[in-house]
Amino acid sequence: MNPVFSKESGKVILMMGNEAIARGALEAGVDFSASYPGSPSSEIQETLAQASKLFGHHAEWSVNEKVAFEACCGASFAGLRSITSMKQNGLNVVCDVLNTINLSGTKGGVVLVVADDPGGHSSTNEMDSRLHAKMAELPLLEPSTPEEAKAMVKYAFELSERVKLPVIIRSVTRISHARGDVKLGELPARTRKPAMGFLDRFIGHPLLHPLLHMRVNQVKAEFEKSPFNQFLGPENAETVIAASGPSAAYALEAVHALGLDDQTGVLKIGASWPIPEQFVISHLAKAKQVLVFEEVDPFLEDNLKVVMAGAVLNGIPVPKIYGKRGGHIKGARGAGIGEMSPDIIYDSLAAILGAKRHPRSEKFLAAEKLAVEWKLPGREWAFCAGCPHRASFWVIKTALKEDDREGVLIGDIGCYSMGVSKTGYNLSRTLQCMGAAIGFSNGLGNLPGFHQPVIAIAGDSTFYHSCLPGLVNARYNQAKMVFIVLDNSGTAMTGFQPHPGTGKNALGESVEPVMIEKVCEGMGIHTSAVDPLRVRPRRAIAR
């Protein structure tokens, strides 16, 4: 059995952050989980799907994040506890309903885990999804270790049920994919019975905006006393580091390494939105200077500055704040860009406080020299051996070349995103968000005087995720294009999770597949299914 599902409470085991999040949901007695995969979040639902057979909760891979979240809200409406997980791009897909469900409120606990990808290791952006929490006025928690992530999930369910709002937990790659000691808690029996009472109505309406504000204030009051917000170090420290997420752990490490423990305080903000004003003022008003560390945007920094501005107006002395806005805290590519790291924190502390870093040991320097001089060859992105996408791009390249009308390939998100690189002959002209290719082609395919043939592509999972409205629109408005669904039988880039076309569900059970070609045919679109490894390029040509 997966040790993540162990019943031995009190035992400490090494867990990936995403597993800890899943464990947290199990310890909260979760009833329902739905998700669409996306790095670095995918293992949360993979673990919950695996757990489903043991614990009996519903677990599904939904077609997209919005459907997944709405399904979770559905479970909540019936009084059950539900959790959804996604990457930062996924939260954008959810955004629409997020800004009405906040008004209507929910019933059973709803937790939305978003795992951000600072540095964009496997994303088309590195957006900071915390701003969604602020925009939708929803409670936000930011774990700084896997252990804390588990605790936050349990707390989030309770909070969600107390204030009748979904709670957002913002993880990042270095939490989700990091491993740490996690102490197992009790696994309660699930006893909730789903039911919708006569008064269970969930109507999003601006009339309810004051109610939302009331709830936000309730959350804020709770966050003022939250154990996730802590001040560590000497109370009268002149220098305070305010940090959230893994940056808090980095900061503690850096302070200790620089020998600054007795003169630097660390204000760890885990329950970060709405910002607990009194807690913040009580700890920062005594300091002379504050350094703010977080990933990616200056979210905490801005919130602190707003609180400090309010303090100034009330005649409270405030410290100088060093952060990304002033360019004081930045990585190699600039402030507010890329991941935070202990090195950046070392360098910033050294520059601002004049502290010196300990020199590296001889052994480290020798190993570093060896590694640098070894000069590993650079590696290009490439499709996996045997993937039909290789053949598909070859066929498309050949067809476009032979056709010789400067046809354009409008790319989309998935493994075939690599169509922008050498492995796809640099064919793709666009790389944006899921389903964007068919959308863009609705424009390009309807331009009078534009004679270049348009080929839009999408993957099999992307097809179900967000291509259907664009496809109907193309049919309806007669956009001229060839739409190619590159089917490699799974949501491949995130780890081959099943999708509606695979005939398997999240639990590995066989289900009736939703066939791509039948969906297209049903829309009245001329459709043919071809094997790119067998097709003669000239026959696959765009007309």
Residue 114, beta-bridge partner list: 86, 170
- Give me the least distance between CB of 394 and other proteins, in Å please: 11
Residue 375: both structure tokens together? 């000069």
Nearer to other proteins, 311 or 541 (CB): 541
DSSP secondary structure letter of residue 433: S
Nearer to other proteins, 362 or 404 (CB): 404
Residue 390: both structure tokens together? 């290789």
Give the range of 321-329, 402-410, 482-490, 521-529 binding other proteins by CB under 8 A.
402-410
Sign of the torsion angle spanned by Cα atoms 281, 282, 283, 284: positive
- Give me the least distance between CB of 513 and other proteins, in Å please: 32
For residue 380, state whether it binds other proteins (rule: CB under 8 A): no
Nearer to other proteins, 53 or 539 (CB): 539
Nearer to other proteins, 282 or 528 (CB): 528
Question: 3-state DSSP call for residue 126?
Answer: coil
Q: How many C-beta neighbours within 10 Å does residue 517 have? A: 14
Nearer to other proteins, 362 or 380 (CB): 380
Contacts of 39 (CB under 8 A, 6+ apart): 87, 115, 117, 121, 122, 123, 493, 494
Nearer to other proteins, 201 or 536 (CB): 536
Nearer to other proteins, 242 or 391 (CB): 391
Residues 141-180 close enough to bind other proteins by CB under 8 A: none
Give the range of 119-127, 178-186, 198-206, 399-407 binding other proteins by CB under 8 A.
399-407
| Element holding 367 (H helix, E strand) | helix 362-374
Packing angle of the helix pair 146-163, 17-27 (nearest 10 deg): 40
Which one among 131, 257, 507, 541 touches other proteins, defined by CB under 8 A?
541
> What does the alpha-carbon distance between residue 412 and residue 517 come to, in Å, rounded to a whole number?
19
Nearer to other proteins, 302 or 403 (CB): 403
Nearer to other proteins, 213 or 539 (CB): 539
- Give me the least distance between CB of 380 and other proteins, in Å please: 17
For residue 406, state whether it binds other proteins (rule: CB under 8 A): no
Residue 367, beta-bridge partner list: none
By rule CB under 8 A, what string of x and - marks binding of each residue 500-539 to other proteins? Answer: --------------------------------------xx
Nearer to other proteins, 515 or 541 (CB): 541
Contacts of 190 (CB under 8 A, 6+ apart): 29, 31, 55, 56, 57
348 and 291 Cβ atoms separated by less than 8 Å: yes
- Give me the least distance between CB of 427 and other proteins, in Å please: 13
- Give me the least distance between CB of 541 and other proteins, in Å please: 7
153 and 109 Cβ atoms separated by less than 8 Å: no
Give the range of 89-97, 125-133, 362-370, 401-409 binding other proteins by CB under 8 A.
401-409
- Give me the least distance between CB of 398 and other proteins, in Å please: 7
For residue 422, state whether it binds other proteins (rule: CB under 8 A): no
Give the range of 48-56, 174-182, 377-385, 398-406 binding other proteins by CB under 8 A.
398-406
Nearer to other proteins, 184 or 400 (CB): 400
Which one among 261, 302, 403, 517 touches other proteins, defined by CB under 8 A?
403
Burial profile 459-495: b = 16 or more Cβ within 10 angstroms, e = fewer: bbbbbbbbbbebbeebeeeebebbbbbbbbebbbbbe
Distances (CA, A) of 232 to 235, 236, 349, 350: 8, 11, 17, 20
69 and 98 Cβ atoms separated by less than 8 Å: yes
Question: 3-state DSSP call for residue 115?
Answer: strand
Nearer to other proteins, 394 or 496 (CB): 394
For residue 402, state whether it binds other proteins (rule: CB under 8 A): yes
- Give me the least distance between CB of 540 and other proteins, in Å please: 12
- φ, ψ for residue 381, nearest 5 deg: -60, 145
- Give me the least distance between CB of 528 and other proteins, in Å please: 15
Question: 3-state DSSP call for residue 131?
Answer: helix
Give the range of 215-223, 238-246, 292-300, 394-402 binding other proteins by CB under 8 A.
394-402
For residue 53, state whether it binds other proteins (rule: CB under 8 A): no
By rule CB under 8 A, what string of x and - marks binding of each residue 295-324 to other proteins? Answer: ------------------------------
Sign of the torsion angle spanned by Cα atoms 223, 183, 47, 495: positive
Residues in contact with other proteins, counted by CB under 8 A, come to a total of: 8
Three-state SS string over 235-293 comes to: CCCCEEEEECCHHHHHHHHHHHHCCCCCCEEEEEECEEECCCHHHHHHHHCCCCEEEEE
- Give me the least distance between CB of 538 and other proteins, in Å please: 6
Which one among 121, 205, 369, 401 touches other proteins, defined by CB under 8 A?
401
Nearer to other proteins, 273 or 393 (CB): 393
- Give me the least distance between CB of 408 and other proteins, in Å please: 16
> What does the alpha-carbon distance between residue 147 and residue 262 come to, in Å, rounded to a whole number?
26
Which one among 262, 362, 380, 404 touches other proteins, defined by CB under 8 A?
404
- φ, ψ for residue 408, nearest 5 deg: -115, 140
For residue 398, state whether it binds other proteins (rule: CB under 8 A): yes
- Give me the least distance between CB of 130 and other proteins, in Å please: 47
Nearer to other proteins, 11 or 539 (CB): 539
- φ, ψ for residue 12, nearest 5 deg: -105, 125
**In the complex, which residues of this chain contact other proteins (CB under 8 A)?**
398, 401-404, 538-539, 541
